Structure formats: C-alpha cells, structure tokens
Chain A
Amino acid sequence: MPNKARNDFVQTVLNRYNDITIKALLSFLPAKEPSRYLYDLLPSYPERPGKGLRPGLCIATCKAFGGDISSSLQSAVAIEMFHNAFLVHDDVEDGSQFRRGSPALHTQYGTGIAINVGDALMVQSLRPLMANLSTLGPKLTWQIFSEIEYMVSQSVEGQAMELGWVRDNSLDIIEDEYLRMILKKTCWYTCTSPFRIGALIATGGSVNLNRFNRFGFYVGAAFQIQDDILNLIGDDAKYGKEIGGDIWEGKRTMMLIHTLQACSETEKERIRLFLLTPRSNRVESDVRWVQSIMSKYESIEFAIKNAQQLAGAALREFYVAFGDIPDSADKKFIHDIILYMIEREL
C-alpha cells in the first residue's frame, strides 16, 4: 500500500504549482484571429487535467534553493507549454486516440490543424522566456534559453530514436539503447532541465548545475518506465490514455524489449508480423496476445524492478543534488516525489 500521507502531500503541492502555472500559461496565449482553427485550440491540452510535474519541479527547486515562485514562474510556464506542444505532435506521430481523458486533438480537428496548433504552442513558449528579460536580466535569461535549447534538442533526438525503431520495425534493441532513448526523450525535459533551471534562477548561476544530471536521469527514467507499466496495467479512467496503447502503437518499451529477448523464435516472428502490420489493421486479439507473452516472460515484473532500482538510485542521488541546502517543504516535496512517481496510478 502506498504511503497515503506522503502521496497526499506531494499531490497537494503538485496541484498548487500546477494551478499557478496553468493560470499564467493561459494568460500568455493570444486571443485573436485566426481563432477557430488556431488560437481557440491552443488552451485545449493545457486546460485538460495534467500532473504538472515539470513546472512543479522547476518551481519547487527554485524555492528550495532560496528563490521564489514569481522568479521561476515564467520559465515553468515555458517548460509546460513546450510539453503541451510536444504532446500535440506526439499524439499525431504515434496515432494516439486519447490524451488526458479526452480525444487527441488530431482526432477532433485533423492532422494538419493539430500539427499547426503544436507549432503555435512551440512559438508561444518563447514568449514567457523572453519576458524573463525584464525580471531576471539578460544573463540569466540567456542561460535559461541555453538550457531550454538543450532540453528541446534532446527531446526531439530521443523521439527520433523511438520513431525510427517503429519505422524500421527494429526487434533487436538492447536495454542500453532504450535507456539512452528515454534519457533524451523524457528525462531532460521532465526532470533534469526543470531542476537545473529552478536552481539557476534561485542562485543566479552560482551552483554547479551538473549536480542534477544523475538525479534527473534516475527520477525521469523511473517515471517513464512506470508510465509504460501503467499503460499496460493501469486504470484507464485514472491514466487518461487508452490502456495497452503502447502495444497498439508498437512502442519499444522496456517490457517489449525484454520480451523480445526472452521469447522463442516462433513467438518473436509473430511479434514481428504484428509490429509490421499498420496500426489501423492491428486487431485486439493480437494486442492481447502480445500482452500475454509479456506476462509469460515476466517482462512487467522486470520493468517494475528496474523502475524501483532507478528510483532507489534517485533517492541516493537526491542527497548529492539537494543535500547541502536547508530543509524545507519544497525540498521534502522533491524527495517524496520519487516514491510518489513509482507508486502513482496515473
């Protein structure tokens, strides 16, 4: 059983920072023409219920290092807006049907409009970063831009790796490649960059930001693997995406990679043919069969164990990243979120 008090505390802090961020984010979105197929659609994903993990980590890190919400808010907004832009494009790229409990944007308005809305969110993400100039000054603004540039580059590189595996129907991916992919696709922009940017703002750059790299990777990797696990065995009402969606999409998750390494040649060939079939032609019975093969080779248990090991490493690394700063509610929040992410059901 998860620790209720700890998880309630984390959830409360996340909700508070998420509410502040989304309110500020919406204030940055223009209300002008063309509205029907562009500006009216920009708030669509940000207004849906999300965890607000990335802005929460950025703001909490800033506060833990002695900064305040107002100085980190614009950067937190930019990170969250980039995230929403990625999600819009990600849903198109993966052919996902649902996002945060509602139909994906491209299923409502078509691929072209969805891509354009994603592009517009990317562009709008620059505005809060530019607004940093008047509050943080040119030096910090430039450093934050550099952090964001690295973060976004890493994300698209990781996404390219994953999309390439699907396109090439790669079956011989090893765990190292998977870890590299999630380091790039998820960990930088979900954890490491929000930590780095929060601390950068609070300290004016006086702290060595590389102290967050390992911590961010371990937390982010544990988060991503847990996300993949929930995609298989979660409650769809809580999870907000279709359960088993990763199998439908042919995603190379840690579970699938483990299964492909453990299964027989006959089973591997059947998986290969399934993955070769276009998503629209895949059938439920085959998706269930792939899931049963994953269960047969205990690939879900393997992934759970890896996520726990990475979370354990994150707990240890927390003291490298945050050990030398005074105790505070925000520092506790960052510590507790490690276990929360592993125990979460959404």
Chain B
Amino acid sequence: MAEDERNKTTENGEPKTDQSGAITDFAETTSRVVQKAAAILEEEIAKGIIAAKQVEERLKNVSELHEGNPVAMIEGFRKEAHEVAEMAMTEFNRKAMSVCIKLCEPICAISDYTIGISFFGLSVGTFTIKGQTNFFNCKDQEPLSNTPLTQTHGVS
C-alpha cells in the first residue's frame, strides 16, 4: 500500500475520519498527557499493592477455606486463638480479683479432666486440669487419690 493510501485509512482499513485520523496518528506517538497518565497509574497501583498486602496479612486465605481445605483454616484459627488467649491472659493478669468466701463445710476435691476442642473433625486443642483443691482444713479427710497438686493447660 502506498504511503498516501496508508495515511487515508486506519489500521483496520477503514477510511480515516477527522477524529479517528487524529487519534490513530496519536497512537504512534506518546504525548505528554499520556506519559503523565502512565506515571500516575503506576504510582496508584504501587500504593494499592502495599495496601492490599497489609490487608492480606490480616485476613485468612478465604479461597483455601472455600476450596474445602480445613487444615489451612485450622492453622489460621490456631494462630488467631493464641492471639486471643494471649490478650485474655494479659487482661486477666492486669485485673486484681478480690474473693471473699465464707465456708461452712471443708472443701477438698481432686480434679482430673481434659477438655477437647475439635473443628471439622480435626482436633484444635485440649485443656487438661489436674490437681487437689483445698479450702479449709482437709486433714480429717482422706484424699481420693495421691495425684500431685498440678494444674496444666495446653493447646496442641
């Protein structure tokens, strides 16, 4: 196609109109406004990526959850549960509690029990509490077993 002919048609072979002629000519160059637009877009996308990463770190991988992967979710839950437990313990330690119990009967009890938590059939954690609790003088009463006075808890 001759140069003159090319100048009269668009890339699709359509005749150039006044507007389309100007626009297709601009397609071959990069003008100032286009350069500015490209730079602004890159800036905004970079900002968006940083913001998205911050959000991503705080959210669980929802798509994995929806794909039916309970392990991924449980791992996330464990992490969150630890954070919540830690927050609760901190709060608990900070607050002084006054207890005033008037006992009419001696209380002497042996504890030995475990609480299990499962999610989607998978174990998330267990809490085991063992020990002897004495309020008042228990010497007159035989303990039910020789279990040492311990109290444990754990999250597995």
- Decide if A79 is an interface residue (CB 8 Å cutoff): no
Structural contact, B40 and A343, CB atoms closer than 8 A = no
**Interface digits, B29-69 against A, CB 8 Å rule (1 contact, 0 not)?**
11101101110110011001000000000000011001100
- Residues of chain A within 8 A (CB-CB) of B7 are none
- Decide if A273 is an interface residue (CB 8 Å cutoff): no
- Residues of chain A within 8 A (CB-CB) of B14 are 3, 5-6
Of the candidates B20, B27, B37, B41, the one whose C-beta lies within 8 Å of that of A316 is: B27
Structural contact, B27 and A312, CB atoms closer than 8 A = yes
Q: A139-B63, A310-B34, A339-B19 are in contact. Are A183 and B41 (CB under 8 A)?
A: yes
B39 → chain A closest CB, angstroms: 8
- Residues of chain B within 8 A (CB-CB) of A150 are 48
Structural contact, B34 and A313, CB atoms closer than 8 A = yes
- Decide if B26 is an interface residue (CB 8 Å cutoff): yes
Closest Cβ neighbor of A315 among chain B residues:
B27
- Decide if A98 is an interface residue (CB 8 Å cutoff): no
- Decide if A142 is an interface residue (CB 8 Å cutoff): yes
- Residues of chain B within 8 A (CB-CB) of A221 are 37
- Decide if B15 is an interface residue (CB 8 Å cutoff): yes
Structural contact, B20 and A176, CB atoms closer than 8 A = no
Structural contact, A310 and B37, CB atoms closer than 8 A = yes
Closest Cβ neighbor of B11 among chain A residues:
A315
**Interface digits, B72-95 against A, CB 8 Å rule (1 contact, 0 not)?**
000000000000000000000000
Of the candidates A138, A183, A311, A316, the one whose C-beta lies within 8 Å of that of B67 is: A138
A318 → chain B closest CB, angstroms: 9
Q: A213-B45, A312-B24, A315-B24 are in contact. Are A176 and B40 (CB under 8 A)?
A: yes
Residues of A within 8 Å of B, CB-based: how many?
A: 37
Of the candidates B25, B36, B45, B63, the one whose C-beta lies within 8 Å of that of A312 is: B25
Structural contact, A313 and B41, CB atoms closer than 8 A = no
**Interface digits, A8-25 against B, CB 8 Å rule (1 contact, 0 not)?**
000000000000000000
- Residues of chain A within 8 A (CB-CB) of B134 are none
Of the candidates A2, A139, A217, the one whose C-beta lies within 8 Å of that of B41 is: A217
- Decide if A175 is an interface residue (CB 8 Å cutoff): yes
- Residues of chain B within 8 A (CB-CB) of A1 are 17-18
What's the Cα separation between A316 and B34 when bound, in Å?
11
What's the Cα separation between A210 and B27 when bound, in Å?
21
- Residues of chain A within 8 A (CB-CB) of B33 are 175, 179, 306, 309-310
What's the Cα separation between A1 and B44 when bound, in Å?
37
- Decide if B22 is an interface residue (CB 8 Å cutoff): yes
- Decide if B117 is an interface residue (CB 8 Å cutoff): no
B13 → chain A closest CB, angstroms: 12
What's the Cα separation between A306 and B37 when bound, in Å?
11
**Interface digits, A215-250 against B, CB 8 Å rule (1 contact, 0 not)?**
001100100000000000000000000000000000
Structural contact, B45 and A311, CB atoms closer than 8 A = no
Structural contact, B23 and A214, CB atoms closer than 8 A = no
**Interface digits, A310-346 against B, CB 8 Å rule (1 contact, 0 not)?**
1111011000000000000000000100110011000
- Decide if A184 is an interface residue (CB 8 Å cutoff): yes
- Decide if A308 is an interface residue (CB 8 Å cutoff): yes
What's the Cα separation between A108 and B61 when bound, in Å?
46
- Decide if A51 is an interface residue (CB 8 Å cutoff): no
A225 → chain B closest CB, angstroms: 9
B50 → chain A closest CB, angstroms: 13
What's the Cα separation between A311 and B19 when bound, in Å?
10
B6 → chain A closest CB, angstroms: 15
Structural contact, B19 and A2, CB atoms closer than 8 A = yes
What's the Cα separation between A143 and B37 when bound, in Å?
27
Closest Cβ neighbor of B30 among chain A residues:
A313
- Decide if A279 is an interface residue (CB 8 Å cutoff): no
Structural contact, B63 and A343, CB atoms closer than 8 A = no
- Residues of chain B within 8 A (CB-CB) of A306 are 31, 33
Of the candidates A138, A139, A311, the one whose C-beta lies within 8 Å of that of B23 is: A311
What's the Cα separation between A309 and B19 when bound, in Å?
11
- Decide if A167 is an interface residue (CB 8 Å cutoff): no
Q: List 22 A-B contacts (CB under 8 A).
A: A142-B62, A176-B40, A180-B44, A183-B37, A183-B44, A213-B41, A214-B41, A218-B34, A309-B31, A309-B33, A310-B33, A312-B26, A312-B34, A313-B26, A313-B34, A315-B27, A316-B27, A316-B28, A339-B19, A339-B23, A342-B19, A342-B23
Known: A2-B17, A150-B48, A309-B26. 9 other contacts (CB 8 A): A3-B17, A176-B36, A183-B37, A213-B41, A217-B41, A312-B31, A313-B27, A338-B23, A339-B20
Pick the 7 closest A-B CB pairs, nearest first: A312-B26, A138-B66, A309-B31, A312-B27, A315-B27, A313-B34, A311-B23
